[in-house]
Amino acid sequence: MLNPRYLLACILFLTINAADAQHFALSRLFYPNLTLKADYTVPSSLDGTRDYGYSRTGFLGIIPLQSEVQLGYSLRKKFDLRAVHTVAIAQYTQIQPTIDGTSIPSNGYKTLSLGIIRLQASIKDRLWAYGGGLGMTETNETFFSPQPFFWGGAARMHILGLRTQIAYGSVIAYNQKLRFVPVFGVNKGLGRHWRASALLPFVANVNYKATKWFNVDMFAGLNGYSGGFQFQTPEEKTLRRENYRHIKIGMSANAHLFTAINISLEAGVTTFRQLRTFNSARENLTSYTPATTPYIGASVRYITSRSSLSSRFIKKMGLGQAGINW
């Protein structure tokens, strides 16, 4: 499963990039789109005697729900122009670890989540991003013992020029325990073709836009998954949970084809990995540190420009043409 804090970070990361209409991430926010993704991590030493690897497949969909520009009048007798954009985020991920090349069904997980992101910009309050969502993880063997999670957060963005924006906020998430994390983001144009973006402590990215249809990303980020399920033993019924975290460092090549399709190939290494299994009393059952290993991945994103709602919003805000800016 994609960590819910990381999921929110990715969405807020898109809002930072959206301020520049020429950046390739704009259409992800303002047009319905669906991303299908798969990646494979090369097996590496788990404990000196066994190898550990995993594969991941899934999709992420973004659907605009509301796009409008509103004119308001405050108690101080001042006019305020406010733009509101709301999107729904749906995600499904399937993760299958392997031990010595063997896939064990009880080690595999699936996750499903649904969230809402709201962008609000006004002359008075500048730009805010709010988000929240619910989800569940479950073993591949059943649908009857899910582990729920939820996430939420807010970030405020300041535009310091056409090529520089900063954002700061906080994320709260429950996934086996409650966590609160402050975040800071920056989006900075570096010359005509380069752009650096980061949402710390989750992800940092440098993008090189070679042409209108081809760009390259170099990135590093915190990622992982966690899940839970119940299983029966002769002695008692136990809730077993498993965590996996790593830092991902890699590059991706992205090509935009046929107006609405983006293809991405990705490769890199995963390091600083931790694999932990514990029970409902939070007592460790097993704890491992898998070795650093390469990974490869690919994704296909379909973006439609048929949303008249989003097209009208972009025109009114002066963000660009109704088409997709990649």
Lowest mean pLDDT among 160-169, 228-237, 294-303, 305-314: 305-314
Whether 228 has a pLDDT exceeding 80, the answer reads: no
Strand, helix or coil for residue 131: strand
Res 319: pLDDT? 42
Percent of the residues in the chain that have a pLDDT greater than 90, as a whole number? 23
- 4-317: CATH topology: Porin (2.40.160)
Is 223 or 28 the better-scoring residue by pLDDT? 223
pLDDT band at 265; cut points 50, 70, 90: very high
Domain boundaries, the chain: 4-317
Res 75: pLDDT? 57
Res 54: pLDDT? 87
DSSP letters for 255-285: EEETTTEEEEEEEEEEEEEEEEEEETT--EE
Which tokens belong to 222? 């915190």
Q: Which residue has the tokens 């991902």?
A: 248
Please give the backbone phi and psi of residue 189, each rounded to the nearest 5 degrees, phi first: -75, 135
Single-letter code of the amino acid located at 17: N
pLDDT tens sequence across 2-56? 555 555 555 555 554 443 333 335 456 677 889 999 999 999 998 888 899 989 9
Which residues, other chains included, contact 291 with Cβ-Cβ below 8 Å and sequence gap of 6+? 44, 45, 273
User: What global pTM score does this model have?
Assistant: 0.80
295: left (phi over 0), alpha (psi -120 to 50) or beta: beta
